[in-house]
Amino acid sequence: MDDFMYRAGSVSCSMEYLEFETRSLRAGESVSGETGGKEAALTILSGSCVVCTGGEARETGVRNSIFDGISPHVTFLPAGCSFNVLAKTPLTFSIAKTAAVCNLKHVKHVEMGAIKSFTRGAEQTRREVFELTPPGTPTNLLVYEVFTSGGNWSSFPPHKHDTETDDEKLLQEVYYFSFDPPEGFALIWLSDDDGHLDKAYSARDGDLIAIPRGYHTMCVSPGYTCSTHCVMAGPTNEWKIKVKPAYKHLLDWKR
């Protein structure tokens, strides 16, 4: 993959271990789908809807904005599962899929507001993180939301997770960007150890970046808050990273 950035709109990308797309619906519209041979995570980014799976209808509650300060409703879907999403208000949601290798047998709902955020980093690297895949959930989909204040850095220090070793695990990743106010932007740097990958991208509201490999880090324009809806997937769901050696001394978080 040479081009990592997908611009605003209904965005989607596909990598070896991870498929991802966002959808937007008007109030009263609905969309149906099928997970096929994969497991999926359906995340309600903003709005309110009814998620129907296996004959069960679940209302998600109202999340007026990604920046409401509460965690979103997430539905984890096993392979061979059909679903329908009926928008009660204008709605934006994501669907992430990966190979069904973790024995997820039943639909699992994580209710809106059920996850508490924690702080990662400090001062200019401070950000708030929601880990949206509850511990013990049998899935290789790791779902997050990260909120970074204007002028701060996130995914810092630059780190990667593209190799299977004892100290690092392969996880492909996507970031879906939202800003408050929406005209904000972020800058993302992707690099590797030998200089073959050395690219910087600007991201605006509604953009998506795919990270199949390489070290990555980002900063947010002053005066704006950035939400990155992050999903990772790989051959396992173990999160072990390698920090770019030149910046390892700046690591100021453990979780």
Tell me the whole-structure pTM to 2 decimals. 0.96
Domain that holds residue 160: 11-250
Q: In the chain, how many domains are there?
A: 1
The secondary element (H helix, E strand) that includes residue 243 is: strand 242-243
Q: Are 21 and 95 in contact (CB under 8 A)?
A: yes
- Residue 51 within any structural domain of the chain: yes
Residue 57 sits in a domain whose CATH number is: 2.60.120.10
- Residue 44 within any structural domain of the chain: yes
**Per-residue DSSP letters for 86-98?**
EESSSEEEEEEEE
Q: Are 97 and 39 in contact (CB under 8 A)?
A: yes
- Residue 60 within any structural domain of the chain: yes
Dihedral-angle region of residue 55 (phi above 0 means left; psi in -120 to 50 means alpha; beta otherwise): left
Distance CA 58, CA 50 (A): 5
The secondary element (H helix, E strand) that includes residue 44 is: strand 38-46
* Per-residue model confidence as pLDDT tens for the chain (255 residues): 457 999 887 789 999 999 999 999 999 999 999 999 999 999 999 999 999 998 899 999 999 999 999 999 999 999 999 999 999 999 999 999 999 998 899 999 999 999 999 999 999 999 999 999 999 999 999 999 999 999 999 999 999 999 999 999 999 999 999 999 999 999 999 999 998 999 999 999 999 999 999 999 999 999 999 999 999 999 999 999 999 999 999 999 877
